[in-house]
Structure 1
Amino acid sequence: MAAPLDDVKVIEVDSWMATPSAGAILADLGADVIKVEPLDGDPMRGYSRPAKLPPEIKDYDFQFDVDNRGKRSIAVDLGSPQGQQVVHRLIAGADVFMCNLLVHRQERFGLDSATVTAVNPRIVHATLTGYGTSGPEAWRPGYDVTAFFGRSGIYDAMREGPDGAVPMARPAQGDHTTGLALVGAVLAALRLAERTGEAQVVETSLYETAVWTQASDYAITAVDRAPLRQRARENMIVPTANRYPCGDGKWVVLNMPAESAWPLLCRVIERLDWIDDERFADIRGRFAHMPEIVAGIDEALAHRTRDEWGEIFDAEGIIWGPVLGLHEVADDPQAEALGLFPTLDSPDIGPYRSVGIPMRFANADVGPRGPSPRLGEGTRDILTAAGLSEGEIDDLVANRTVLDTPVSESD
């Protein structure tokens, strides 16, 4: 079967996780993705070495791998005119150029939209930044914890009450969400470039994507400008849409309509006395007595494990979900059925599990093409395909414009 993007070539100049994650998705969809790195590599290389991994694989960079698998790497000195010429040579034969450089750095390295579209008048120029390329803070560097979670209001919305501690997100949640937004923009721009024969310039940012993820809240907040009301469990609007611990310390989340589900929940947890209790007769009454109700549900659920309650909930038609630990998701039969953790094969460590992209195709070849590249291991092949002679490549290597890393060498 063909891959959706097997005729698309992508040049990416990026680092860390957000834009690289978009490149990984495009590579899984079949695109030829060339990662342009500085001579000392993307700073994400080697950034994470989890201590809990066994000794034989602890030095393999799994976090870098998931955002850079299936790509080819070329290491170039973008600060030199020769290095910029090399990248322009690659751009001339590409369909997409992606970067996460702030505008002033794009201009410094000759990678701004005006320069790139002059080199290739049919290319898609795509930028991902922290706060956008216009406005008073377009200059500000942004990471997902600052631009996505902090500036957008997500952290504040997640606090349990106005005095609650600000939570901390897990790594790259905002990066990967914004990477998906960039993929969507690139695919739409490719379609438009194909129809018009003209270059397209698109962008997204961590800040913009974060606001979109909270569109349900902002649909109201953008109008009334009122602070969001943070809700602890004891301050939720309805008890049938809340989270509760079970007897084994594991949690469940319920999400059901307020009126019709209330008597059902009462029957399932064997609190029939609540059904006719005047205090709980309607939504207002239940909200006024929410601390008592939450305490009562906690007490009822404490008599069985999460899995035992799950079987009961399923049998009785309760809409619920388990709060799984990450280690549980890695072994979840539903995750296995969806192919969320595909197996790749590395020449360094052999077979290992990675993380699948959140899309599946019935009649196309979609999935990881292989592990992430070593720094500069594709330099010579990439430049040869771009039309440079062996002598020209040797000169670029000799004057440190590019780094040539034979495949037999390690990082």
Structure 2
Amino acid sequence: MLHHALKDVKVVDISRILAGPWCTQNLADMGAQVLKLEHPGRGDDTRGWGPPDISSTDGSDTMSAYFMACNRGKQSIAVDFSTPEGADQVRRLVKDADIFVENFKAGGLAKYGLDFASLHKINPRLVYLSITGFGQTGPMADKPGYDYVFQGMGGLMSYTGHPDGTPGAGPLRTGVAVVDLMTGMYATTAVLAALRQRDTTGIGMALDICLLDVAVAMNANQGANYLVSGKTPERTGNAHPNCAPYEVFACSDGHLILAIGNDGQFERFCNLAQRPQWASDDRYKMNSNRLKNMDMLRPLLIDLFKTRSRKAWTEAFDANNVPWGPIHTLDEVFAHPQVQHREMLQTIEHPKFGKMQLVRNPLLYGSPAMTADQAPPTLGQHTQNY
């Protein structure tokens, strides 16, 4: 269990919105002491990103669900580092810190003496993480940017959405800020690796993580497909570019995801569907040929799936080891027995807000349930302690 893995690690965090806080929430979940430094008047921008909000038991305060999603386990200190006194307080906190996290514009903290060079002099062991839109160098280094920008700029939206010529055609963003979240995860990995290196060398380092780099990297197989073939991926709706059939189908009473990953699975599917001839058809028996001929196979599948209920199909799939999945709404997600068994939903008693429901970090399965001191903090809740 990892909930105490970083118990001796101190993090000074002046990041806000999502990518930086997602990283530092991971660190807090693994036991690090995370000091979240926020502007005394407004705090992290996402404190105002509601509704929905949760209200305190006495009705005097609110906390946005967005802020709750990425700031559990931290201590909030109200400080304005744009003032000499505030900057001095940050430097004092950094003296014995292990990690410093910021996501301001490249070079923007130098005027406050909070850049890497300045803090490295105070604490040579410090791991200094900078998260920006475009990186610390290059022709766009001075520009700001949000997740949505990079979903488009990095290529993701170009192949996400319904194909041209179909209803609703056009590029689509994902339902959550995946570039921010992936940046937070890459940043977490980089910080842990830098700590490992620091413990060997005794010297900290600066980490330059940017959303554009992450957006390009997370194209994954789509990026590799382009680099190998020279063809830019097209929007394929719910279909997979490398496996077939691997998409959503409508049954007589609802939808399901059929996820055929190899030719053996396809043969089993054909047999249970009473279409064994498809598995021996040269157009369909191999995945590469199914991909080429999905325009012929898809209409056959669409008609086939409508002949049975979702329950009938899925029972047959389970009995024959054919991969499939439901499309759940979030109420169904949190009511699902496997999600409940994995204790992904945690309920804590917040001292100011009463019962608060939070999602467990997937890294921490088997760890003790969350307690009130892991709740997202109110603005400046811990200022007097520092």
The answer for the alignment partner of 2:76 in structure 1 is 73
Distance, in Å, in 2 between the alignment partners of 1:187 and 1:341 is: 26
- The offset of 1:115, in angstroms, is 1.0
TM-score, length-scaled by structure 1: 0.83
Which residue of structure 1 lines up, in the alignment, with residue 153 of structure 2? Answer: 151
Contact 2:267 / 2:285 at 8 angstroms: preserved in 1? no
Q: 1:119 to 1:306 in 2, by over 3 A?
A: farther
Decide which moves more: 77-86 or 26-35.
77-86
Deviations 1:11-31 (A, max 9, x none): 001111110111111111111
8 Å CA contact 1:28, 1:367 repeated in 2: no
1:356 alignment partner in structure 2: 360
Tell me the residue number matched to 1:263: 267
Moved more, 302-311 or 131-140: 302-311
* Distance in structure 2 (CA, Å) of the matches to 1:235 and 1:99: 37
Match of 2:66?
Answer: 63
Shift, 1:143, TM fit? 1.3
The one-letter amino acid of 2:354's match is G
Query: What is the rounded CA distance, in whole Å, between the counterparts of 1:7 and 1:366 in structure 2?
Result: 21
Match of 2:21, SS state, is helix
Task: Please point out which of 337, 340, 360 is paired with 1:336.
Answer: 340
User: Is 1:378 the counterpart of 2:382 in the alignment?
Assistant: yes
Given the superposition, is the C-alpha separation of residues 192 and 250 from structure 1 closer, same or farther in structure 2, using an over 3 Å criterion? same
Q: Does 1:47 align with 2:49?
A: yes
The whole-number CA distance in structure 2 between the counterparts of 1:351 and 1:173 is 28
The one-letter amino acid paired with 2:305 is: L
TM-score (norm. length: structure 2): 0.88
In structure 2, relative to structure 1, the CA distance for the partners of 1:366 and 1:226 (3 Å cut) is: farther
Percent identical among aligned pairs is 30
Note the residue ranges of structure 2 that are not aligned, 5 or more in a row. Answer: none
SS of alignment partner, residue 22 of structure 1: helix
Query: Per the alignment, in what secondary structure is the counterpart of residue 188 of structure 1?
Result: helix
1:192 to 197, 208, 221: 197
Question: C-alpha distance in 2, partners of 1:34/1:233?
Answer: 42
Q: Deviation at 1:358?
A: 2.3
Q: Which residue of 1 aligns with 2:222?
A: 217
AA of the residue aligned to 1:161 = P
| RMSD after superposition | 2.9
Letter of the structure 1 residue corresponding to residue 199 of structure 2 = E
Residues 148-179 of structure 1: per-residue CA shift (max 9 Å, x gap): x1111111121333563111222333222211
**Number of residues paired by the alignment?**
378
Match status 1:101 vs 2:104: yes
Distance 2:36 2:289 in 1: 59
CA distance in 1, matches of 2:347, 2:73: 13
Describe the SS at the equivalent of 2:45: coil
Which residue pairs with 1:312 in the alignment? 316
d(CA) in 2 for partners of 1:159, 1:204: 28
CA 1:207/1:306 → structure 2, altered by over 3 Å: closer, same or farther? Answer: farther
Separation in 1, partners of 2:265, 2:228 = 31
Residue identity opposite 1:7 in structure 2: D
SS in 2 for 1:104: coil
Q: CA separation of 1:226/1:283 partners in 2, compared to 1, >3 Å: closer, same or farther?
A: closer
Secondary structure, counterpart of 1:330 in structure 2 = helix
